[in-house]
Amino acid sequence: MRHRDDMTFPPEEYARRLEDLRDRMKSRRLDAVVISDPENLMYLTDYQTTGYSFFQALVVPLDGDCFMVTRNMEESNVHARTWVEKTRPYADNGDAIQRLIEALREAGLYNSTVGYERNSYFLPAYQQDRFHSAYTGGRLLDCFGIVEEGRVCKSKHEIEIMKRAARATEAGMKAGIEIAEPGVSENEIGAAISAAMFEAGGEPPAVMPYVTSGPRSMIGHATWEGRTVQEGEHVFLEVGGCYRRYHTAMMRTIVMQEELSPSMRSAEEQMQKALFELRDRVQPGLTVSDADKIVRDIISAGSHGGSLITRSGYSIGIAFPPSWDEGYILSLMQGDPQILKEGMTFHIIPWVWGVDGDKTVGISDTFYVTETGCESFFSLPEEFTLKPGKGKPSAPTAKKANGEQAQPAS
């Protein structure tokens, strides 16, 4: 392992991750693993590129040096970013899988038991078929999840990086709330969010912000399309800030009215209550299913007419497009007996779909599990913002440090 001091984490962090991976390899009786998932490559080596649609893999033998198989163009990322010294590149018109086979043979691993990530987005079926056909000297086994077992609980170093991502998330959300008002387009809101995230030190996120207004908020995973916000409508925002590929996310809602309707008030109150109750009860040992039930029961008890139609939260951390979540590692869903552990990080989403039959609203939080409870990455108030029209107060009344109410600007 090449020692360098210009990586996201200190060298001992990567050494620990590699040692832990090899311990899991031993327990599965694997001589080597071929890691192709972009998030796992980042976790183990600090390697990242936007060119991950081409085959790339880190080969980790139980003993001996690791090496990477990459496209020629991406080899520079290995040398510029990672501790990996050995590379085995291939040309654009070359055969990536054949290069992998040759590299395994060179490393004395052709007659071995080798694990590969069968569920990786970027190791498609045709490549897996060719890998099985060409690797005739040994045995291939699915080792999906072997790296994720280490990723699910974040170290103190990772928590600090996620705090930097959280600054970008909050900056983006504040900018979105500030600019959103009747007469402003969804595109303008999205642009303000994005600019603020990047100005706050954020980096390109796995997903750009979600910005929908009025009836468009009922379209799942929709984002801005040029629509202009109208008087009396609401705007739903979900922002994921990124730093060194680590993400945090939050939802907020802006309502273009002087006061909330009874149904919208109920939605706001139930989401606030769900977040409060869950954070109050989260600690190592609580099951995933019980955590989900806390949120789901509170949301379903409201008089808002909507429902929580998805999981109530998901693991979040390292991410590349097309998604910022680690939900495939762990999601808060009914019936899951897994337990929460210190260092786990979650985006909790007690959002309400279908308020009054035609509105989606949300207030969410990203937190990390501590030894005795949990801590939020954010400080932004968890409430709807009322904006009845241009020229009127654009945010809830703030409190001065001495507890007196600050007066809105005239």
Q: Which of 247, 248, 300, 249 is nearest to 271 (CA)?
A: 300
Q: pLDDT at residue 280 above 90?
A: yes
Q: How far apart are CA 218 and CA 358, in angstroms?
A: 6
Q: What is the mean pLDDT of residues 366-378?
A: 98
pLDDT at residue 392 in the model: 42
Beta bridge partners of 361: 352
Q: For 365, phi and psi rounded to 5 degrees?
A: -150, 150
Confidence of residue 395 (pLDDT cuts 50, 70, 90): very low
The more confident residue out of 398 and 196 is 196
Q: How far apart are CA 168 and CA 120, in angstroms?
A: 29
Tokens of 250: 């939050």
Name 25's Cβ contacts closer than 8 Å, sequence gap at least 6: 31, 32, 33, 60, 62, 115, 143, 146
pLDDT at residue 393 in the model: 43
Q: For 122, phi and psi rounded to 5 degrees?
A: -110, 25
Q: What is the mean pLDDT of residues 174-198?
A: 98
Q: pLDDT at residue 83 above 90?
A: yes
Q: How far apart are CA 94 and CA 2, in angstroms?
A: 28
pLDDT digits 0-9 by tens, 196-224? 999 999 999 999 999 999 999 999 999 99
Which range has the worst mean pLDDT, 35-44, 126-135, 181-190, 384-393?
Answer: 384-393
Q: What is the DSSP string of 145-186?
A: TTTHHHHSB--HHHHHHHHHHHHHHHHHHHHHHHH-STT-BH
- The secondary structure element, H or E, covering residue 71 is none
Q: How far apart are CA 251 and CA 271, in angstroms?
A: 11
Cα distance from N-terminal residue to C-terminal residue, the chain: 61
CATH number for the region 153-386 comes to: 3.90.230.10
Q: How far apart are CA 13 and CA 23, in angstroms?
A: 15
pLDDT at residue 390 in the model: 60
Name 94's Cβ contacts closer than 8 Å, sequence gap at least 6: none
How many CA atoms are closer than 13 Å to the CA of 160, on its beta-carbon side?
Answer: 6
The reported pTM is 0.92
Q: Are the CB atoms for 193 and 211 separated by under 8 Å?
A: yes
pLDDT at residue 356 in the model: 94
pLDDT at residue 388 in the model: 86
Q: Do domains 11-151 and 153-386 have the same CATH topology?
A: no
Residue with tokens 């400080």: 379
Domain locations in the chain as residue ranges: 11-151, 153-386
Q: Are the CB atoms for 361 and 351 separated by under 8 Å?
A: yes
Name 120's Cβ contacts closer than 8 Å, sequence gap at least 6: 36, 37, 144
pLDDT at residue 178 in the model: 98
pLDDT digits 0-9 by tens, 19-47? 999 999 999 999 999 999 999 999 999 99
Residue 66, Cβ neighbours under 10 Å: how many? 21
Which range has the worst mean pLDDT, 113-127, 308-322, 384-398?
Answer: 384-398
- Cα 382 to the chain's mean position, in Å? 20
CATH number for the region 11-151 comes to: 3.40.350.10
Residue 241, Cβ neighbours under 10 Å: how many? 33
